[in-house]
Amino acid sequence: MRNVIIADDHPVVFRGLKEILLENFGGVAVDGAGTGRELIERIKAKDYDLVLLDICLPDANGLDVLSDLKKRRPKLPVLVISMYPEELYAVRAIRTGAQGYLTKQSAPEELVTAVRKILAGKRYVNPTFAVRMVVDFESDIVKPAHERLSNREFQVMRMFGSGKSIKDIADELNLSINSIRTYRARIMDKIGVKGTQGLIHYALTHGLIEYRGQ
49 Rama class: left (phi>0) / alpha (psi -120 to 50) / beta: alpha
Q: Is residue 196 packed enough to be buried (19+ CB in 10 Å), middle (13-18) or exposed (0-12)? A: middle
- Residue by residue, DSSP assigns 12-66 as HHHHHHHHHHHHHSTTEEEEEESSHHHHHHHHHHS--SEEEE-SEETTEEHHHHH
Task: Categorize the per-residue pLDDT at 128 as very low, low, confident or very high, splitting at 50, 70 and 90.
Answer: confident
Q: Look up the CATH number of domain 2-136.
A: 3.40.50.2300
Q: Give the tens place of pLDDT for each residue, 16-43.
A: 999 999 999 988 999 999 999 999 999 9
Point out which residues pair with 148 in neighbouring strands: none
Phi/psi at 44 (5° precision): -75, -30
| pLDDT > 70? residue 137 | no
Q: Write down the pLDDT at residue 170.
A: 93
Distance CA 176, CA 159 (A): 15
Residue ranges, CATH 1.10.10.10, the chain: 145-205
Residue ranges, CATH 3.40.50.2300, the chain: 2-136
| Architecture in CATH for domain 145-205 | Orthogonal Bundle (1.10)
Task: Categorize the per-residue pLDDT at 207 as very low, low, confident or very high, splitting at 50, 70 and 90.
Answer: confident
Helix (H) or strand (E) holding 82: strand 78-82
- The overall average pLDDT reported for the chain is 89
211 Rama class: left (phi>0) / alpha (psi -120 to 50) / beta: beta
Which range has the worst mean pLDDT, 73-87, 89-103, 130-144, 156-170?
130-144
